[in-house]
Structure 1
Amino acid sequence: MNEEKKKSIQALKTSKGQIEGIIKMIEDGRYCIDISNQMVAAQSLLKKANLLILKQHLNHCVKDAFINNSGDEKVDEIMDLLSKLLKD
Structure 2
Amino acid sequence: MKADKATVTRLLKTARGQLDGLLKMVEEDRYCIDISTQLLATQAILRRVNREILKEHMKGCVKEAFASGDADEKIDEILSLLDKMEK
Aligned 8 A contact 1:22 1:35 in 2: yes
Partner of 1:85: 85
Aligned 8 A contact 1:4 1:55 in 2: no
What is the root-mean-square deviation of aligned Cα atoms in Å? 1.6
TM-score by length of 2: 0.91
Partner of 1:27: 27
Which secondary structure does the structure 1 equivalent of 2:69 belong to?
coil
Consecutive unaligned residues in structure 2, runs of 5 or more: none
Partner of 1:11: 11
Which secondary structure does the structure 1 equivalent of 2:30 belong to?
coil
What is the count of residue pairs matched by the alignment? Answer: 87
Q: Deviations over 1:22-60 (max 9, x none)?
A: 001111111111011000000000000000000010010
Consecutive unaligned residues in structure 1, runs of 5 or more: none
- Sequence identity percentage: 48
The aligned amino acid for 2:74 is K
TM-score by length of 1: 0.90
The 3 A distance-change label for structure 1 pair 33 and 12 is same
